[in-house]
């Protein structure tokens, strides 16, 4: 049992109403790995960075049980860079800059020992790269989860639609669900998107929680009401990491267990936003995670007698 994670490992520069960072460590795969590491020790990363990426960040990933054999380090090249500014509501943001750098020519190579991983997390990245990873697997993983964003819908829609035919779970935010489906109602959007291939769809709604759909059922998980949201960057990826990490740990991909996985994802996302970048996930303990899960249980539990 193990998870293969592909996605960006990056430098980010973030502006929120609470402050501003210079280049800090970010990237979809970085958040996914850190978040999953609280549920499983079998994490394998496929990604790429430039020569400018600090060794200390690679060590940090290794310390979280991430195998980095599939992380390419490109001599003389620069790491993917993303910069974003959040609006006052912290639910919306503008991308200020995306510099693909090493991603432009990235050809993912899946190490032999990763090719039989039974959980595959195709984190936010060029759809063609996600597909190339999928195609190198020796057997179809038990569960394939794909995360993407509007940037790839705007620029590589055909490639994305192609990959969607092969995945089990798609995770996107509400704006992206509307863009992909052309429907405003999220229920209608889910119907349209499930026709595109995925068996399950997760729509993330920031501070308004997350919805899990299949063709018959729907489940809703709230976000934990937090006093301060410091930096939402990586919340979606932390969600994905908690979601797939829990499914791998429990080895149960039923809809019922996916509901629990959504709660685990929501708990991890709630930590991520409490500090800038990956800081909070880096310092978290297993006890913190347990406590937060209990807070979720308390938040949604109620008795009601139906007559
Ligand atoms: P999230 O807030 O969950 O959407 O994830 C933010 C992370 O995604 C940041 O750390 C960025 O480095 C990374 N990111 C931003 N834009 C892209 C992109 N176009 N493709 C892949 N990763 C990206």
- How far, in Å, is the centroid of ligand 1 from the Cα of 69? 22
> Could you give the CA distance from residue 17 to residue 85 in angstroms, rounded to a whole number?
9
Ligand 1 binding pocket includes 212 (Cβ within 6 Å): no
Q: CB neighbours (10 Å) of residue 66? A: 24
Nearest residue to 269 via CA among 147, 133, 101, 103: 147
Its pTM stands at: 0.96
Q: Best of 28, 81, 175 to mutate for ligand 1, by most ligand atoms within 8 A of CB?
A: 28
Q: If pLDDT is split at 50, 70 and 90, which confidence band does 181 have?
A: very high
pLDDT at 58: 98
Angle at 157 between CA 214 and CA 240, to 5 degrees: 45
Ligand 1 binding pocket includes 10 (Cβ within 6 Å): yes
pLDDT for residue 307 is more than 80:
no
Q: Best of 99, 148, 149 to mutate for ligand 1, by most ligand atoms within 8 A of CB?
A: 149
> Which atom of ligand 1 sits closest to the CA of residue 238?
3
For residues 130 and 163, the answer to whether their CB atoms sit within 8 Å is yes
The predicted model gives 47-54 an average pLDDT of 98
Ligand 1 binding pocket includes 278 (Cβ within 6 Å): no
Q: If pLDDT is split at 50, 70 and 90, which confidence band does 179 have?
A: very high
Percent of the chain with pLDDT over 90: 93
Percent of the chain with pLDDT over 70: 100
- How far, in Å, is the centroid of ligand 1 from the Cα of 230? 17
Q: What is the mean pLDDT of the chain?
A: 96
pLDDT for residue 57 is more than 90:
yes
Q: Best of 8, 48, 61 to mutate for ligand 1, by most ligand atoms within 8 A of CB?
A: 8
Per DSSP bridges, beta strands 43-50 and 143-147 are unpaired
pLDDT at 190: 98
For residues 112 and 119, the answer to whether their CB atoms sit within 8 Å is no
- How far, in Å, is the centroid of ligand 1 from the Cα of 234? 7
- How far, in Å, is the centroid of ligand 1 from the Cα of 204? 15
Ligand 1 binding pocket includes 151 (Cβ within 6 Å): yes
Domains of the chain (ranges; CATH) run 3-300 (3.40.1190.20)
Give 3-state DSSP helix, strand, coil % of the chain, rounded to 5.
40, 25, 35
The predicted model gives 267-273 an average pLDDT of 97
- How far, in Å, is the centroid of ligand 1 from the Cα of 238? 11
- How far, in Å, is the centroid of ligand 1 from the Cα of 251? 28
pLDDT at 119: 98
Task: Report the SS3 class of residue 203.
Answer: strand
pLDDT for residue 90 is more than 90:
no
Per DSSP bridges, beta strands 119-122 and 143-147 are parallel
What residue has token string 């006093």? 227
If you take atom 10 of ligand 1, which residue's CA is the nearest one?
Answer: 27
Model pLDDT for residues 114-148, shown as the tens digit of each residue: 999 999 999 999 999 999 999 999 999 999 999 99
Cβ neighbours for 31, distance < 8 A, ≥ 6 positions apart: 234, 237, 238, 241, 272, 278, 281
Q: CB neighbours (10 Å) of residue 24? A: 17
Ligand 1 binding pocket includes 181 (Cβ within 6 Å): no
243: its two tokens: 């979601």
Model pLDDT for residues 10-48, shown as the tens digit of each residue: 999 999 998 899 999 999 999 999 999 999 999 999 999
- Distances, alpha carbon 36 to alpha carbons 33, 121, 166, 248, in Å: 5, 11, 23, 9
Ligand 1 binding pocket includes 98 (Cβ within 6 Å): yes
- Distances, alpha carbon 82 to alpha carbons 41, 59, 299, in Å: 28, 22, 35
Q: If pLDDT is split at 50, 70 and 90, which confidence band does 1 have?
A: confident
Ligand 1 binding pocket includes 277 (Cβ within 6 Å): no
End-to-end C-alpha distance for the chain, whole angstroms: 46
Q: If pLDDT is split at 50, 70 and 90, which confidence band does 228 have?
A: confident
């Amino acid at each position: 049992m193990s998870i293969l994670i592909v996605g960006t490992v990056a430098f980010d520069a973030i502006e929120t109403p609470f402050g501003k960072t210079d280049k800090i460590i970010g990237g979809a795969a970085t958040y996914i790995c850190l978040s999953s590491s609280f549920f499983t020790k079998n994490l394998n990363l496929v990604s790429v960075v430039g020569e400018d990426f600090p060794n200390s960040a690679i060590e940090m990933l290794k310390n979280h049980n991430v195998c980095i054999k599939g992380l390419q380090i490109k001599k003389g090249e620069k790491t993917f860079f993303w910069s974003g500014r959040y609006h006052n509501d912290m639910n919306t943001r503008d991308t200020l800059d995306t510099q693909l750098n090493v991603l432009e020519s990235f050809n993912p190579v899946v190490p032999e020992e990763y090719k039989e991983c039974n959980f595959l997390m195709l984190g936010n990245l060029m759809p063609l790269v996600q597909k190339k990873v999928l195609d190198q697997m020796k057997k179809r993983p038990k569960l394939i989860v794909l995360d993407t964003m509007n940037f790839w819908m705007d620029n590589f829609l055909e490639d994305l639609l192609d990959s969607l035919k092969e995945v089990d779970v798609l995770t996107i935010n509400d704006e992206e669900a509307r863009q992909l489906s052309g429907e405003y109602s999220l229920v209608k959007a889910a119907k349209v998107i499930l026709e595109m291939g995925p068996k399950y769809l997760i729509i993330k709604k920031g501070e308004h929680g997350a919805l899990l759909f299949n063709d018959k059922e729907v489940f809703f998980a709230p976000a934990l009401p937090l006093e301060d949201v410091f930096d939402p960057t990586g919340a979606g990826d932390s969600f994905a990491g908690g979601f797939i990490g829990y499914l791998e740990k429990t080895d149960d991909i039923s809809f019922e267990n996916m509901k629990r996985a959504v709660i685990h994802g929501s708990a991890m996302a709630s930590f991520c936003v409490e500090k800038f970048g990956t800081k909070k996930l880096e310092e978290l303990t297993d006890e913190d995670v347990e406590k937060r899960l209990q807070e979720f249980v308390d938040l949604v539990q109620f008795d009601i007698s139906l007559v």
